[in-house]
Amino acid sequence: MSSSAAPYRPDRMLIGLLVTLATTQAEIQTHLFPACQRFLYMSVPPQGPDGPQFVQICQVYRGKARYVTLYDTLNRIPVYSAYTFKRSDGATKVGVPWMYEPQLSTAVGSGEMQPLPQREDLHERSDDAQAALDDYRDTVDAVRGQLNPDAHQSDLDDKAATYTLTNVVPQVKEFSEGPWAAQERVVRQRLNNYCLGAAYVVTGAAGTAGWRAMRRYDADRVAVPDYVWSAYCCVDHDCNAPYHEFTKFPAFASLGVNREVNNDVQEMSVQQLQDFIKRVTGQTLKVFYLDCE
């Protein structure tokens, strides 16, 4: 990373904001979450980090639930996004304005993602607990990496809904446009060809102690993850698939190192992924209910 990256130290001033919004956010999530349960295997969300800084979002666009995100309001990045894969030719949506989550910015915020505000005063209030476009403007080696990629969706509105800053993490350009983009294509083609039923996907980010951060106005802003990971679950799959593909069902995972060089992506079992996350972060991760058996 460039000199704009530095060890991340959460902004303690956010704690009061989080406490103030906790009750209202819980009410919003309780209201919205049933609409998003269909994006989770057996309607059970992944077991991951817990605490007031982590907010579960039912991502709603144009009045319809699209996917689920667990968002870290201190690091200002998603922990994961969980979605159902839609058969796709890999086309991306262009010309979509980047959006944000009003519910993370105000106690009376909408439960639906909105285009980033144009007025400067509103923009300043909108980025207290989430990333802003300005966070990415002073760095040349990090891009906005979607956890729920638009290429894994087919409906144009589903694609558009992936363009919210609560669905992206800073990815090193060489990693994002190289090994990780290639792995997203591998998964898309595999699920297109051999998954006969619903395919549940969870994609997330992880970091070791002392996360780097992108800075703005001489302040740490958005944490840069050391790793990006993904796992899918497809119980109803083609039993006549080639052996090397059949062995990757009903569930499999991948892990990539988010850096400029030595950034290969490895495929592994979901259990191996969970073991790795536990080893490097100390946090327990349970991606799928009963391990998608």
pLDDT tens, 108-153?
567 899 998 765 544 455 567 898 888 888 777 889 999 999 999 9
Closest by CA position to 46, among listed 201, 227, 188:
201
Token pair listed for 154: 């087919």
Token pair listed for 233: 């679950």
pLDDT of residue 109: 62
pLDDT digits (tens, 9 = 90+) for 14-41: 333 333 333 334 333 434 478 899 999 9
pLDDT mean over 38-52: 94
Q: In what order do the strands lie in the sheet with 200-206?
A: 54-61, 64-72, 77-84, 200-206, 227-233, 251-257, 265-268
What is the rounded distance in angstroms from the CA atom of residue 6 to the CA atom of residue 2?
A: 9
pLDDT mean over 264-281: 96
pLDDT of residue 1: 41
pLDDT of residue 27: 37
Sort strands 227-233 and 200-206 into parallel, antiparallel or unpaired: antiparallel
Cβ–Cβ contacts within 10 Å for residue 64, how many?
A: 13
pLDDT of residue 14: 37
The proportion of the chain whose per-residue pLDDT surpasses 70, expressed as a percent, equals: 84
H/E stretch holding 143 reads strand 142-146
pLDDT of residue 116: 84
Any idea which of 130-144, 152-166, 195-209, 262-276 has the lowest mean pLDDT? 130-144
User: Average model confidence (pLDDT) for the chain?
Assistant: 85
Sort strands 64-72 and 77-84 into parallel, antiparallel or unpaired: antiparallel
Token pair listed for 246: 């059949």
Query: Among 92-101, 134-143, 193-202, 277-286, which range has the highest average pLDDT?
Result: 193-202
Any idea which of 125-134, 196-205, 283-292 has the lowest mean pLDDT? 125-134
pLDDT at residue 217 tops 80? no
pLDDT mean over 179-207: 97
pLDDT of residue 290: 94
How does DSSP assign 144-177, residue by residue? EEESS-GGG--SHHHHHTT-BGGGEEEEEHHHII
How does DSSP assign 202-263, residue by residue? EEEEE--SS-EEEEETTEEEEEE-SEEEEEEE-SSB-TTS-HHHHTT-SEEEEEEE-SSSS-
Any idea which of 35-39, 99-103, 195-199 has the lowest mean pLDDT? 99-103
**Band of the pLDDT at 284, cuts 50, 70, 90?**
very high
